[in-house]
Amino acid sequence: MFANLAEKLQNTLRKLRGKGKLSEKDVDLALREIRLALLEADVNFKVVKEFVEEIRERAVGEEVRQSLTPGQQVVKIVHEELTALMGREQSKINLAGSPAVIMLAGLQGSGKTTTAVKLAVELSHGGRKPLLAAADTYRPGAAEQLQVLGDSAGLPCYRNDGASPVQICREAVRFAAREGYDPVILDTAGRLHLDAAMMDELKEIKAQLKPAELLLVVDAMTGQDAVNVASSFHEALGLTGVILTKLDGDTRGGAALSVRAVTGCPIKFAGVGEKLDALEPFHPERMASRILGMGDLLTLIEKAEAGFDQQKARKLEQKLRRQEFTLDDFREQLQQIQQIGSMEEILAMLPAAQLPKELRRLQVDEKQFQRIEAVIASMTPAERNNPAIINSSRRRRIARGSGTTVQDVNRLLTQFSQMQRLFKQMGSLEKKGFKNIGKGKRGFPFF
Ligand SMILES: Nc1nc2c(ncn2[C@@H]2O[C@H](COP(=O)(O)OP(=O)(O)OP(=O)(O)O)[C@@H](O)[C@H]2O)c(=O)[nH]1
Ligand SMILES: [Mg+2]
């Protein structure tokens, strides 16, 4: 996410961090670099100007002069201002009304339909019973797309393909009220460009349905254009917020950093992938931390907790204590980690400064996971339970069976026995009175 911008800002700030004293020249140079990095990331030029002015004012002021670590202080200021730029506090979704109505709008292909379902998934995890409403009657197959995506997540979709969008929305809300669904998420049609007819229709839906949220879905890949689109929609319709999609690609950051400042609309969610669980509540402070390489451990922990099964974790913990951790358990752990995200995504959320250098720019070979899984799958149950019996002829068989090499098998077995030894040590320390060693918040041993 924002790889280029992040790298440039981090480089600039790294130079400042180490400095015991900051000269005017140091500050000037850093600000020039920050300005360039933001402009290159396609941040609105007025926003950049104000941002840099704000930092300059603070950087030459008392808080930095009196600080024992002025470089560090400037880093803190940049972090605070970046957070402020994106809206300071997290802006939560408003679910007032029974049922609450959430209306999505946006240009063609911005991600409305996918986001409607992602949002429904997110809200259903929060204990709600959402209903999707297929109000795109223009693009053939649009209603079908929403229904298929909804089905795949086990979520209901209201359709009436012959009716007008306004009518479909009204019927969906009535249906939801009767059947106990709440909220109703309206997936409206996108157009290639802003046009009056489109706005009129959206205005009509808004007037009749009185949505608690009217959210504009914008494609972050389009940078400044996304911000212009948001401005026009906001002027015409009065938005309550924005959802940025496609933040996972090589998005430069312009949209995320300018849209709030230019339109005044809060960013409520960010789409970070095509899968239905790839939607994150937007936290300005955490996003600023990620951009500045300070990591985003809170999001990582939330993802880890959402992606794993507590019962399994408890069972695993017992096994670890009794030193019965097998290769099957190891494989299950790997699968759980993969559910959190790709290794690159996970690494991006860790504080860069605390990571060893070679890890920072690591291109993780996801195939490595598959290889380990294949090796374990080629073992017999007896071998998985007691790897000690795996002699060299068994190693050759396992390598052949999994399409790997004997070295791959050896590496895995060595790693596994190192892990077992580690758990054993933790066990004996606990016996000596050290409590809760290696016990994650919920008993997960690796976090
Ligand atoms: N990588 C990535 N792709 C996304 C994201 N959100 C949506 N997409 C993809 O963008 C494409 C368009 O998404 P849709 O949800 O169909 O967009 P839409 O706004 O409903 O499009 P129309 O109904 O034609 O206006 C699809 O291929 C989605 O998978 C995201 O956050 N990341
Ligand atoms: Mg659509």
The 10s digit of each residue's pLDDT in 94-152 is 999 999 999 999 999 999 999 999 999 999 999 999 999 999 999 899 999 999 999 99
- Which ligand does the CA of 245 lie closest to? 1
- Residue of 187, 201, 274, 276 best suited for mutating to test ligand 1, as the one with most atoms within 8 Å of CB: 274
> What phi-psi label fits residue 436: left (phi over 0), alpha (psi between -120 and 50 degrees) or beta?
left
290 and 309 inside one domain: no
Ligand closest to Cα of 110 equals 1
- DSSP characters for 368-414? HHHHHHHHHHTS-HHHHH-GGG--HHHHHHHHHHHT--HHHHHHHHH
**Spacing, Cα 141 to ligand 2 middle (Å):** 9
| Residue 259, burial from CB neighbour count under 10 angstroms (0-12, 13-18, 19+) | buried
Same domain, 154 and 223: yes
Is the CB of residue 313 less than 8 Å from the CB of residue 443? yes
CA dist 96 and 101 (Å) reads: 8
pLDDT tens, position by position, 295-342: 766 667 677 666 666 677 777 777 777 777 788 888 877 777 777 666
Q: Which residue type sits at 157? A: C
Last residue within a domain, chosen from 265, 294, 323: 294
* Rounded Cα gap, residues 354 and 342, in angstroms: 20
Ligand at minimal distance from the CA of 191 is 1
Helix (H) or strand (E) run with residue 241 in it: strand 241-245
Tell whether 41 is covered by a domain: yes
192 and 287 inside one domain: yes
Q: How many CA atoms lie within 13 A of 274 on its CB side?
A: 2
Distance of CA 145 from the midpoint of ligand 2 (Å): 8
Is residue 179 domain-shared with residue 217, that is, in the same domain? yes
What global pTM score does this model have? 0.74
Q: Which of 240, 268, 294 is the last residue of a domain?
A: 294
d(CA 273, CA 248): 6
Pocket residue to mutate for ligand 1, from 108, 110, 114, 121, most atoms within 8 A of Cβ: 114
Regarding whether 258 and 150 lie in a shared domain, the answer is yes
Whether 442 is covered by a domain: the verdict is no
Q: Are residues 76 and 9 in the same domain?
A: yes
Which atom of ligand 1 lies closest to the CA of 190? Answer: 25
Q: Which residues approach ligand 1 with their CB closer than 6 A?
A: 106, 108-114, 136, 139, 142, 190, 245-246, 248-249, 271-274, 278
Same domain? 350 vs 367: yes
With respect to residue 320, please indicate whether it lies within any of the assigned structural domains.
yes
Give the DSSP H or E segment for 84: helix 70-85
- Choose among 268, 198, 270: nearest CA to 237: 198
Which pLDDT score is estimated for 366?
67
Ligand 1: nearest atom to the Cα of 116: 15
Residues 110 and 178 in one domain: yes
CA distances in angstroms from 9 to 31, 46, 50, 131, 136, listed in the order given:
10, 19, 17, 42, 42
Is pLDDT at 243 greater than 70 in this prediction? yes
**Residue 145 Cα: closest atom of ligand 1:** 16
Q: At what angle do helices 254-263 and 70-85 cross, to 10 degrees?
A: 70
- Rounded to the nearest 10°, the torsion over CA 405, 408, 410, 414 is 180
Which residue's CA is the closest to the ligand 1 atom numbered 26?
Answer: 111
Same domain, 145 and 248: yes
* Mean of pLDDT over the chain: 85
Of 53, 85, 117, the residue that ends a domain is: 85
Ligand 1 center from residue 151 Cα (angstroms): 17
For residues 369 and 413, which has the higher predicted lDDT (pLDDT)? 413
> Considering only 139-153, 169-183, 357-371, which range has the smallest mean pLDDT?
357-371
CATH number at residue 15: 1.20.120.140
Q: Which atom of ligand 1 is nearest to the CA of 108?
A: 25
- The kind and range of the H/E element at 166 are helix 165-179
Q: Do β-strands 157-158 and 184-188 pair in parallel, antiparallel, or remain unpaired?
A: unpaired
| pLDDT at position 86 over 50 | yes
Flag whether 437 is in a domain: no
In three-state secondary structure terms, 280 is strand
97: left (phi over 0), alpha (psi -120 to 50) or beta: left
Q: According to the model, what pLDDT value does residue 355 have? A: 58
Domain count, the chain: 3
Reference 186, options 151, 158, 144; nearest CA is 158
CB 276 within 8 A of CB 117: yes
Phi, psi of 323 (to 5 degrees): 55, 45
Cβ-based neighbours of 53, under 8 Å, separated by 6 or more: none
Mean pLDDT, residues 245-271 taken together: 90
Kind and range of the H or E element at 267? strand 267-271
Q: Indicate whether 340 belongs to any domain.
A: yes
Cα of 96 to ligand 2 centre, how many Å?
25
Residue 111 C-alpha to ligand 2 middle, in angstroms?
A: 7
Residues 202 and 141 in one domain: yes
For the CA of 246, the nearest ligand: 1
Specify the amino acid at residue 113. T
- CA distances, 209 to each of 132, 162, 168, 183, 194 (Å): 14, 20, 11, 12, 22
Q: What is the CATH number of the domain that holds 398?
A: 1.10.260.30
| pLDDT tens-digit readout, 138-169 | 989 999 999 999 999 999 999 999 999 999 99
Are 38 and 5 within 8 A, CB to CB?
yes
Q: Which alpha helices (DSSP H) does 180-212 contain, by range?
A: 196-209
243 & 309 share domain: no
Examine the domain organization and report whether 47 and 169 are in the same domain.
Answer: no
Question: Is pLDDT above 90 for 171?
Answer: yes
The per-residue pLDDT for 176 is 97
Task: Compute CA distances 269 → 18, 109, 276, 278, 283, whole Å.
Answer: 35, 17, 13, 10, 8
In a domain, 438, yes or no: no
CB-based contact 408:319 (threshold 8 Å): no
Alpha-carbon span 212 to 283, nearest angstrom: 21
Q: Ligand 1 centre from 111 Cα, in Å?
A: 3
Q: Using DSSP bridges, classify how beta strands 267-271 and 279-281 pair: parallel, antiparallel or unpaired.
A: antiparallel
Q: How far is the CA of 69 from the centre of ligand 2 (A)?
A: 51
Region class of 251: left (phi > 0), else alpha (psi between -120 and 50), else beta: beta
DSSP β-bridge partners for residue 132: 157, 185
Residue-range definition of the domain harbouring residue 418: 303-431
User: Looking at the CA of 276, which ligand is closest?
Assistant: 1
Rounded distance between C-alpha atoms, residue 134 and residue 112, angstroms: 11
Specify the ligand 1 atom closest to the Cα of 273.
32
CA of 22 to the centre of ligand 1 (A): 46
441 belongs to a structural domain: no
Token pair in block for residue 115: 């986001």
Encoded tokens for 327: 């290769």
Residue 407 CB neighbours (<10 A): 10
Local structure of 139: helix, strand or coil = coil
93 assigned to some structural domain: no
